[in-house]
Amino acid sequence: MFNFEFHNPTRIVFGQDRLKELNRLVPADAKVLILFGGGSVKQFGTLDKVRQALGNRNLIEFGGIEPNPRYSTLMRAVEVVRGEKIDFLLAVGGGSVMDGTKFIALAARYGGNAEDILTGKAKPAQLSAAVALATVVTLPATGSEMNSGGVISHQGGKFVFFSPLVFPQFSILDPTLTFTLPPTQVANGVIDTFIHTVEQYVTLPAEGRFQDRTAEGILRTLIEIGPATVADPSDYDARANLMWCATNALNGLIGAGAPQDWTTHMIGHELTALFGIDHAKTLAVLQPAVWTVCKEQKRAKLLQYADRVWDLREGSEDNRIDEAIARTRAFFEGLGVSTRLGSYGVAADRIDDVVRALETHGMTALGEKRQVTLEVSRRILEEAL
């Protein structure tokens, strides 16, 4: 096991009918900016319930945070925070709203050009303050509700940032708030959670047995409840298990002391930026291809994955690995998500564009051993066609 530091101070308030506890959780004298995306939190009454729970606090709303939230949108919210002297941000939504809110929390207290937060010019240590924030989760997927990172779109790229200052103070996870999600978004959430897990698990053996077993537990749970929760939104237990798995897949727990990959995410970000493909769908397309191309390096963990997640113990090593990859692909397809680039209108002639974007963004040595050069990324994209 590698040395590690683990610290996650976010308070999770999980279950049915928890919105009313906002009154206990948000400081009584806070001036609150409620952030959200499109109209669904209004349409389904979540915003009303949030406002009601917050009582007579001074509340301002900022809606319209888009999927793959844009720097320019978020900077408008930063102006509101500064102008209105907001001291508490409440994100009500999925990963985009939560990630955007984290960026706003940092940017509003950052003295320099806020683009520094995205480019890495502002190192975590230089970011010394952030507005307090919390979340109400309406889409289980990104794990943003219990971690210190976010992804922001700007000038044709997607940028990842981290700061311990943006751990949510609390996150309310009420599975019933997700019952109104369209099935495609639920399928995306299952796949996003699955890939977050394997990016920290199908790497190299490192004697992190608790981490491995916990990752395997998330994967088996997703396989068990994924189809059910896409098909039947009102199955509380299935949705609750998806929601709690999504949080634990990316709260630092399974990655602590373990090698991490993230190739699929980094190439996937370029596919979203260039072609507008949903984040989760880029992951479903790329992950089987990453495993096929990087099979030798990942052999030991792919065999473990085949054994412990898919119960594949017969046949040659290569057969077991190939079958595990095939079953993973079939699992994604069974959720209604295509795993081939072609299905999203991207053909071989666009691979050059993707490789160029990776180069522009410095993604020239990805993977748990920095083995994924631009040439390897090209092979992955070819395999994903």
Does 351 engage in binding with a second copy (CB under 8 A)?
A: no
Surface-to-core class of residue 278, CB atoms within 10 Å of its CB (0-12 exposed, 13-18 middle, 19+ buried): buried
Q: How far is the CB of 255 from a second copy (least distance, A)?
A: 13
Which C-beta is closer to a second copy: that of 174 or that of 261? Answer: 174
Instruction: Kindly indicate which of the ranges 180-188, 238-246, 289-297, 312-320 contains the residues binding a second copy, using the contact rule CB under 8 A.
Output: 238-246
> Residue 20 is encoded by which pair of tokens?
């009313």
Q: How far is the CB of 358 from a second copy (least distance, A)?
A: 33
The correct pick among 64, 257, 334, 336 for binding a second copy (CB under 8 A) is 257
Does 300 engage in binding with a second copy (CB under 8 A)?
A: no
Alpha-carbon distance of 220 to 169, in angstroms, equals 30
The correct pick among 82, 210, 353, 356 for binding a second copy (CB under 8 A) is 210
Alpha-carbon distance of 156 to 173, in angstroms, equals 32
Alpha-carbon distance of 183 to 218, in angstroms, equals 20
Alpha-carbon distance of 382 to 163, in angstroms, equals 35
The correct pick among 199, 216, 270, 278 for binding a second copy (CB under 8 A) is 216
Alpha-carbon distance of 65 to 83, in angstroms, equals 19
Q: How far is the CB of 188 from a second copy (least distance, A)?
A: 19
The correct pick among 86, 89, 245, 267 for binding a second copy (CB under 8 A) is 245
Does 2 engage in binding with a second copy (CB under 8 A)?
A: yes
Reduce the DSSP state of residue 152 to 3 states and report it. strand
Alpha-carbon distance of 12 to 215, in angstroms, equals 20
Contacting a second copy within 149-208 (CB under 8 A): 207-208
The correct pick among 9, 276, 315, 345 for binding a second copy (CB under 8 A) is 9
Residue 62, beta-bridge partner list: 35
Alpha-carbon distance of 159 to 94, in angstroms, equals 18
Nearest to 323 by CA among 331, 223, 262, 191: 331
Does 253 engage in binding with a second copy (CB under 8 A)?
A: yes
Q: How far is the CB of 259 from a second copy (least distance, A)?
A: 14
Which C-beta is closer to a second copy: that of 210 or that of 356? Answer: 210
Q: How far is the CB of 236 from a second copy (least distance, A)?
A: 8
Which C-beta is closer to a second copy: that of 212 or that of 270? Answer: 212
Site string for a second copy, 107-126 (x = CB under 8 A): --------------------
User: Which residues contact residue 355 at a Cβ distance below 8 angstroms, ignoring those fewer than 6 apart?
Assistant: 374, 377, 378, 381
Give the side-chain half-sphere CA count within 13 A for 289.
24
CB 93, CB 141: distance < 8 Å = no
Surface-to-core class of residue 183, CB atoms within 10 Å of its CB (0-12 exposed, 13-18 middle, 19+ buried): middle
CB 178, CB 141: distance < 8 Å = no
User: Which residues contact residue 73 at a Cβ distance below 8 angstroms, ignoring those fewer than 6 apart?
Assistant: 64, 65, 66, 100
Which C-beta is closer to a second copy: that of 105 or that of 253? Answer: 253
Which C-beta is closer to a second copy: that of 87 or that of 235? Answer: 235
Instruction: Kindly indicate which of the ranges 29-37, 245-253, 322-330, 374-382 contains the residues binding a second copy, using the contact rule CB under 8 A.
Output: 245-253
Does 232 engage in binding with a second copy (CB under 8 A)?
A: no
Which C-beta is closer to a second copy: that of 46 or that of 248? Answer: 248
The correct pick among 31, 57, 70, 220 for binding a second copy (CB under 8 A) is 220
Which amino acid type is present at position 175? P
Which C-beta is closer to a second copy: that of 31 or that of 308? Answer: 308
Does 228 engage in binding with a second copy (CB under 8 A)?
A: no
Instruction: Kindly indicate which of the ranges 60-68, 130-138, 211-219, 259-267 contains the residues binding a second copy, using the contact rule CB under 8 A.
Output: 211-219
- Which residues lie near a second copy (CB under 8 A)? 1-16, 18, 207-210, 212-214, 216-218, 220-221, 224-225, 237, 240-241, 244-245, 248, 253, 256-257
